[in-house]
Amino acid sequence: MLWDTYPKYFNQVTPESIEITDEGMKMNFKANELEGKHVRIFYWYKLTALRDIESITNSVKVLGAREIPEVNSKIEIIGGATADGIEGTMGQILLYKQNNSENDLLSGAEFTLTKEGSKYSKIKTSDESGELVFALEKEDNSYKGTYILTETKAPNGYEAGTPITIELNDHGEIVKVNNQSISASGSSGTLVEEDNKKICWVSKDRLALIVYNKISTEETTNITTTKVWEDANNQDGIRPDKVKVQLFANGDKYGDQVELHVDNNWSYTWEKIPKNQGGIEIIYTVEEVEVPKGYTVSYSEDTLTITNEQIPEVDFHFTKIDAADYENPVPLSGAKFTLYKATGEVTDNLLVITDSEGNPRGNWEIVGMYESDDVGLVSVTNLQSGTYQLIETKAPAGYQLPTGQWRFVIDAKNGTISGPIAITSTTAPPALQGNLSTGYLLGNIKSYTLPLTGGNGAYWFAVLGLGCILLAVGLARVKYMCRSK
């Protein structure tokens, strides 16, 4: 049979004809009965010699004036025995959540299904189509038993229904609901009512229910949150695809986190949520679950407008050169540096003190370690506003290692830098010359050493030294003899 599944569930439509062929089963329906409708086709057959079947497959093709490509199909094995290799659900209760007057599908309804005298207990929430499925478990090769279906959370703007008692037979078919017998005969399902109030509707096959909800008589409201981006239309390409936000009611979490993204225009509305609690209006607020990297977050006074502003960043470049000539610089490779950033208040003109591994003491953190390349260039990217201190940890071969450090302050929003200021210890470090836009030059002073031992250089150096000593002795003797006369 075919059931029209939207907007009214389980209105049976009978096919004009059914043909069984070697290729499968073919059902024909009148086009005007299906036009503009979302449909589901259910059909049943009994499997025999189940142990001899290795697998069951299913495929569906819908043909009319044209072929309809988007068809989903699945196999659900309901009741009976099972065999290895056969896929499907061995026993289940299919449930739909619906408005009791307008046939609207309701998502977000949470149910708990328990079985009397058993440890069986499952929790499910209705999806966007209002559907949820409870998989059953056999006991003593039977699904028979009394189950309690409890609505633990109603959809927004609706009242939770009362618990429903469901009795199943051995095959998992519904035989009673709230002590009302459910018949398998007739052309339609069974409506269960109490005190002229619709409780649920059971399908003809006794495998599915529609559970109704009544619109809450309490006053409700809608809350809309909106995301605003201040990042020059994502000019740097770092904006995330989505963010999550959480609604709070009087400071307590309300509902699940929701996502904001391009498809919903970075906005979301909580509809038909309670306006008051105990006669006092509820104060709703919204918080961003996690602030995107590279952004700050701020909120409107009511917190419903969330603004993420991109944190401005600048790049800092300098070239390592021979300090002998800044006009015609000779680049030096292999110089190593560590850059630190102040994490709190720091004293002016004070060196960053580090341990043997380069870890800083006080209000400093390591930004990164860098080395001048083949053209002497050192590039430090994505620096945010703050105070920084640069330390040279290894000089190029043949050059002196500065004992001082360089401090500078970056204002990334305005793209400016104050400094660099040379902070000295024993001798002043070479100056950093240049600016933030064109880059800086940083010189190193050559090391001077005595000639190496061995070879002619050492010989003549020794001769010169001996000559100086003999000359000094001779002059001293002449001076002594003159005094004696």
> Residues 133-153: what's their mean pLDDT?
87
Return the structure tokens found at 266. Answer: 């970075």
More confident residue, 28 or 95: 28
Residue-wise pLDDT tens digits, 94-123: 676 666 555 677 888 899 999 998 889 999
pLDDT at 4: 37
More confident residue, 150 or 107: 150
Query: How many residues make up the chain in this entry?
Result: 485
In whole angstroms, what separates CA 65 from the centre of its chain? Answer: 45
More confident residue, 69 or 348: 348
pLDDT at 10: 46
pLDDT-wise least confident of 40-49, 171-180, 348-357? 40-49
pLDDT at 8: 39
Residue-wise pLDDT tens digits, 291-302: 998 899 999 998
Q: How confident is the model at residue 25 (pLDDT cuts 50, 70, 90)?
A: confident
pLDDT at 264: 92
pLDDT-wise least confident of 173-177, 207-211, 457-461? 457-461
Round to whole Å and give the CA distance between 31 and 2: 13
User: Does the pLDDT at position 266 exceed 90?
Assistant: yes
Which residues lie closer than 8 Å to 150 by C-beta, 6 or more apart?
111, 112, 113, 114, 163, 164
395 near 338, Cβ under 8 Å? Answer: no
Q: How confident is the model at residue 234 (pLDDT cuts 50, 70, 90)?
A: confident
Of 140, 143, 145, nearest to 171 by C-alpha is: 143
Round to whole Å and give the CA distance between 196 and 201: 14
Which residues lie closer than 8 Å to 10 by C-beta, 6 or more apart?
3, 189, 201, 203, 208, 210
> Residues 311-320: what's their mean pLDDT?
85
Residue-wise pLDDT tens digits, 153-207: 888 777 788 899 999 888 888 888 888 888 766 557 788 888 878 888 888 777 7
Residues above pLDDT 90, as percent of the chain: 16
User: Does the pLDDT at position 89 exceed 50?
Assistant: no
Of 221, 218, 279, 223, nearest to 247 by C-alpha is: 223
pLDDT at 85: 40
Which residues lie closer than 8 Å to 478 by C-beta, 6 or more apart?
none
* Backbone Cα Rg of the chain: 41
Residues above pLDDT 70, as percent of the chain: 71
Round to whole Å and give the CA distance between 75 and 86: 10
Which of 212-221, 273-282, 373-382 has the highest mean predicted lDDT (pLDDT)? Answer: 373-382
- pTM of the predicted model, to two decimals? 0.45
Q: How confident is the model at residue 352 (pLDDT cuts 50, 70, 90)?
A: confident
Of 14, 30, 22, 17, nearest to 64 by C-alpha is: 30
Which domains can be identified in the chain, with CATH numbers? 91-217 (2.60.40.10), 224-310 (2.60.40.1140), 314-444 (2.60.40.10)
309 near 298, Cβ under 8 Å? Answer: yes
Round to whole Å and give the CA distance between 111 and 125: 6
**Mean pLDDT, rounded, of the chain:** 77
Residue-wise pLDDT tens digits, 404-454: 888 888 888 777 777 777 777 656 567 677 776 777 888 888 886 555 555
Q: How confident is the model at residue 468 (pLDDT cuts 50, 70, 90)?
A: low
pLDDT at 467: 65
DSSP state of 286: E
Is the dihedral angle over the CA atoms 318, 324, 329, 330 positive or is it negative?
A: negative
